[in-house]
């Protein structure tokens, strides 16, 4: 065979191999098979609304954005029937995703009557309206199958078949309206937006430039972690249900103010299914039932809200020089940090070489060791006011006085 003829044959076989590898007909067949494996083919579509009808009861959930909603938890939804409220994006996304990925256990070809499948009078009708399409995608829920946890469905997109699907999907359609509603008491609130909190017991705290301080019942540095925990509780705790009774007339057990908002918590006679205490929560005009446990944070003793270390980590990070005074000995020394070491900078000369271990240990204790109590006994307070200090620590306006009580 001539070389030229051999080259032509090689190119022909290579072309045939490429066609087999990238056969457009094969690709179409695979896509068709994937579509047929689903009850609905909703890939790459966006939703406008979801409607669940059971008898005379109707729940309508609309997409809150004009461009349509995706099937994941990033979409924003609103409940428009039977009540109007923000939607629970997580719960609604679960339903939308279940519809997107709904695959039949079996697909039964039918002709005419659907009585044997319980579809003449369906238990529920589920509709999805898709952006850009006039006709909704509709599912009718029929009877339970005789074998296995499955149920029959009929769709308007394939009237020649009845689908057998797992009953977990239809169980989602039986939820009460509150399941689809927003459950956060203050849904638009973010924890880091809270800069001041007041609560029952004359407690007031305020955040300035990232630092929290108690204003009442004492003026002191606040425990930042505890304050951020209080803010998170207010921003993210969710209701267990809507309270349908009248607003309580007795005084609230706990009143919390933050910004221009107020939360009033009243004892609820019933306990949860888990046996925990519950509150009736008044957030503006709305009344909810909430678990009382998260609000235990607002019932701690004062010590829990105060910063229990003598120096904050932020102050310690700035510490490059400080002065130690010993009033009884009438001596003072200023130390300066050079690299990893502390050296004498001013004041009395130390009699012995400086112990770096003792200096670092002292500074670490100011930051790491927690205060065990804030004595209120008159004896301790009088002693602190009258007795001379054993040690005074001074750093850029941060003054600490150390006195040994009951030697």
Question: Is residue 62 predicted with pLDDT exceeding 70?
Answer: yes
Q: What is the mean pLDDT of the chain?
A: 87
Residues in Cβ contact with 218 at an 8 Å cutoff, skipping those fewer than 6 apart: 302, 306
Q: What is the pLDDT of residue 33?
A: 80
Greater confidence (27 vs 400) lies with 400
Q: What angle do CA 62, 65, 70 make, to 5 degrees?
A: 75
Residue 6 has pLDDT above 80, yes or no: no
Percent of the chain with pLDDT over 70: 89
- State yes or no: cis peptide before 194, omega within 30 of 0: no
Q: Are 52 and 59 in contact (CB under 8 A)?
A: yes
Which one has a higher pLDDT value, 194 or 327?
Answer: 194
Planar angle of CA 22, 24, 28, nearest 5 degrees = 125
DSSP character at residue 202: T
Q: Which of 57-66, 86-95, 365-374 is least confident?
A: 365-374
pLDDT tens digit sequence for 200-259: 999 999 999 888 999 999 998 899 999 999 999 999 989 999 998 999 988 999 999 998
Q: Do 166 and 149 touch, CB atoms closer than 8 A?
A: yes
Please indicate, yes or no, whether the overall pTM of this predicted structure exceeds 0.75: no
pLDDT tens per residue across span 74-111: 899 999 999 999 999 999 999 999 999 999 999 999 87
Residues 6+ apart with CB under 8 A from 391: 324, 325, 326, 401, 402
Q: Which two tokens stand for residue 110?
A: 């039918």
- Residue 47 tokens, joined: 């939703």
Q: What's the rounded Cα separation, in Å, for the pair 87 and 61?
A: 7
Planar angle of CA 57, 122, 129, nearest 5 degrees? 65
Inform me whether the pLDDT recorded for 388 exceeds 90: no
**pLDDT tens digits along 134-157:** 999 999 999 999 888 999 999 999
Q: Given this model, what pLDDT does residue 11 score? A: 54
């Amino acid at each position: 065979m001539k070389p030229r003829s051999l080259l032509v044959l090689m190119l022909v076989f290579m072309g045939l191999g490429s066609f087999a590898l990238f056969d457009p007909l094969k690709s179409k067949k695979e896509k068709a098979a994937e579509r047929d494996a689903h009850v609905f083919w909703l890939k790459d579509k966006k939703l406008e609304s979801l409607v669940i009808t059971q008898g005379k009861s109707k729940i309508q959930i609309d997409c809150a954005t004009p461009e349509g909603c995706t099937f994941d938890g990033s979409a924003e939804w609103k409940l428009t029937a039977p009540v109007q409220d923000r939607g629970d994006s997580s719960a609604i996304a679960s339903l939308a995703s279940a519809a997107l990925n709904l695959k039949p256990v079996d697909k039964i070809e039918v002709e005419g009557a659907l009585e044997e499948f319980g579809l003449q009078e369906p238990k529920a009708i589920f509709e999805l309206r898709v952006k850009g399409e006039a006709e909704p995608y509709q599912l009718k829920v029929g009877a339970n199958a005789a074998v296995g946890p499955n149920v029959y469905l009929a769709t308007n997109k394939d009237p020649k078949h009845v689908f057998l699907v797992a009953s977990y999907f239809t169980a989602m359609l039986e939820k009460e309206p509150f399941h689809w509603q927003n459950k956060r008491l203050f849904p638009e609130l973010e924890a880091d937006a809270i800069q001041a909190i007041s609560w029952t017991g004359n407690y007031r705290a305020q955040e300035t430039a990232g630092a929290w301080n108690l204003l009442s019942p004492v003026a002191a540095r606040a425990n930042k972690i505890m304050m951020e925990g209080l803010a998170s509780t207010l921003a993210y705790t969710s209701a267990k249900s809507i309270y349908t009774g009248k607003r309580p007339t007795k005084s609230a057990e706990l009143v919390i103010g933050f910004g221009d908002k107020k939360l009033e918590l009243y004892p609820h006679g019933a306990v949860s299914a888990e046996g925990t205490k519950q509150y009736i929560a008044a957030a503006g005009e709305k009344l909810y039932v909430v678990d009382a446990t998260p609000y235990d944070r607002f019932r701690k003793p004062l010590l829990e809200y105060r910063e229990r270390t003598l120096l904050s980590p932020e102050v310690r990070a700035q510490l490059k020089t400080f002065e130690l005074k010993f009033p009884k000995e009438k001596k003072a020394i200023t130390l300066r940090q050079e690299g990893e070491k502390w050296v004498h900078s001013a004041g009395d000369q130390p009699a012995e070489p400086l112990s770096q271990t003792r200096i670092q240990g002292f500074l670490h204790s100011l930051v790491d060791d927690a205060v065990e109590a804030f004595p209120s006994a008159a004896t301790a307070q009088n002693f602190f006011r009258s007795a001379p200090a054993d040690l005074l620590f001074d750093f850029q306006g941060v003054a600490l006085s150390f006195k040994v009580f009951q030697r």
